[in-house]
Structure 1
Amino acid sequence: MIILAFFLAHWYLSLFTQTFFHHRYAAHRMFSMSYGWERVFFIFSFLMQGSSFMSPRAYALLHRMHHAYSDTPLDPHSPHNSSNAFTMMWKTRTAYQECVFGTSVAAERFAGEYPEWPALEAFANQWYGRLGWGLLYIMFYVTFANAWWQYLLLPIHFTMGAFHGAIVNWAGHKYGYQNFDNRDQSRNSLFFDFLTGGELFQNNHHKLPNRPNFGVKKWELDPTYPVIWTFNKLGIIKLKAPKPVAYPLVPA
């Protein structure tokens, strides 16, 4: 029971930091926050993502490329450019590392307006930083695991962010329905969205990339948005007016 609770906490807290801080804040600037709160969420993201911590700057660059080139040969993680989810994940990792080290020429046009903490980001990207987190996960399992099969969850802990990204990018551009004609293959994979905190409303998001609520229809619940709404009411963040994108609705 302890192992399952730990796994679920890591899954959903890591997921929240990725969708709230990296995606909606760093990549899309859907809201603003003070320097102090930005540092708080930087640290919280590092603690929750652990061994799979992503640089918000590199994430923003990669994600902006994804929107600009969605499902074209230039998209860094379209399932339509890869034969399976694992090759897509490796291609994404390569493009991400190029953004981290500043060697991506394609990413240059998308630079600017993202949070940066060079010292923390550099440490988190080092092999010894990631190894340290991995050892902590192993120690926790050695202490509390009471069945051999529980150790099979460890690889997911080690690469949690990659698992989240693979589910969103693969399912969100292959399976589900479309509310809008976005001139790409983005889909709303509602069946899987309990795993991804609203991220699988991909078709809605590609239509309205600056809208903090990824649900559009009344029955489309984005579980991250109520948290964002609450943070806005508390003054932790300040929501911005979303900018429309002129793509038509899919004909009924």
Structure 2
Amino acid sequence: MPILVFFVAHYYLSLFTQTFYLHRYAAHKMFTMNKFWEKFFYLFTYACQGSSFLSPRAYAILHRMHHAYSDTEMDPHSPHFSSNPFAMMWKTKVIYTDLLKHNVEAPERFEGDYPVWEAVESFGSQWYSRLGWGTAYVLFYINFATAWWMYLLLPVHFLMGPLHGAIVNWGGHKYGYQNFDNHDKSKNTLALDFLAFGELFQNNHHKLPLRVNFGVKWWEFDPTYVFIWSMDKMGVIKIKRKQQVPVRVAA
């Protein structure tokens, strides 16, 4: 039981920081927060992602590129230009690493307006930080695993952040339905997105990239929006862009 609780907690905490902080805050700035909360959630993202920590700066630039070049050859992670999810993940990793290490200069329009904390970004991206988190996961399993098959979950812990990205970008651009014609292949994969906390409403998001609630139809449930709405009411964050749904939306 402790292993399964740990796995589920790590899966959803890592997922939450990716969609809440990296995606909706760093990449899109759908809401604002003061410097205390910005640094708090920066550290929280590092702690929750652990061995697969993603730099908010590099993530934001990469994601802005994805929107600008959606499902074209310049898209850093379109499933339509990779033979399988692992090939797409590797392509994304190469581009992400170049952005992280400043090996390439991104177009100016993708730069700026993202949280920067160079000390945490640098430390969290080092091999010894990733190895340290990975070792902690292994030690936890050694102490609490009750069956051999539980150890098969360890690779998911090691690569949690990239795996979440692969689920969203492979599934959300290949499988599901469309509410809008976005001139790309984005789709809504799940009506009740329990798997990716709203991220699998890709068709809605590509049509309305500044809308904080990724659900559009009354039956499309975005769990992350519930947390964002609650934190807005508590004064932790402030939603600043309320993008409206077009009047004509597919039934």
State whether TM-score is above 0.5. yes
How many angstroms apart in 2 are the aligned matches of 1:241 and 1:168? 23
Task: Give 1:99 shift.
Answer: 1.1
Residue ranges of structure 2 left out of the alignment (5+ in a row): none
How many angstroms apart in 2 are the aligned matches of 1:129 and 1:104? 24
How many angstroms apart in 1 are the aligned matches of 2:244 and 2:94? 32
The yes-or-no answer on 1:211 pairing with 2:211 is yes
Deviating 4+ runs (over 4 angstroms):
243-246
CA contact (8 A) 1:33 1:236 kept: yes
Task: Give 1:70 shift.
Answer: 0.1
1:174 alignment counterpart: 174
The yes-or-no answer on 1:117 pairing with 2:117 is yes
Residue ranges of structure 1 left out of the alignment (5+ in a row): none
1:145 alignment counterpart: 145
CA contact (8 A) 1:192 1:200 kept: no
Alignment deviations for residues 76-125 of structure 1 (CA, whole Å, 9 cap, x no partner): 00000101100000000011111101223344430000000000000011
Alignment-mate amino acid for residue 226 of structure 1:
V
Task: Give 1:244 shift.
Answer: 6.3
Corresponding residue pairs, total: 251
Task: Give 1:245 shift.
Answer: 9.4
Distance 1:243 1:103, change over 3 A: farther
CA contact (8 A) 1:180 1:207 kept: yes
TM-score by length of 1: 0.96
Alignment-mate amino acid for residue 17 of structure 1:
T
2:136 alignment counterpart: 136
CA contact (8 A) 1:51 1:134 kept: yes
Equivalences for residues 9-88 of structure 1 within 5 A: 9-88=9-88
How many angstroms apart in 1 are the aligned matches of 2:167 and 2:29? 23
CA contact (8 A) 2:176 2:187 kept: yes
Task: Give 1:243 shift.
Answer: 4.6
Percent same amino acid among aligned pairs? 64
- Most deviating of 101-110 and 36-45: 101-110
Distance 1:234 1:245, change over 3 A: closer
Alignment-mate amino acid for residue 47 of structure 2:
L
Alignment-mate amino acid for residue 53 of structure 1:
F
How many angstroms apart in 1 are the aligned matches of 2:164 and 2:193? 11
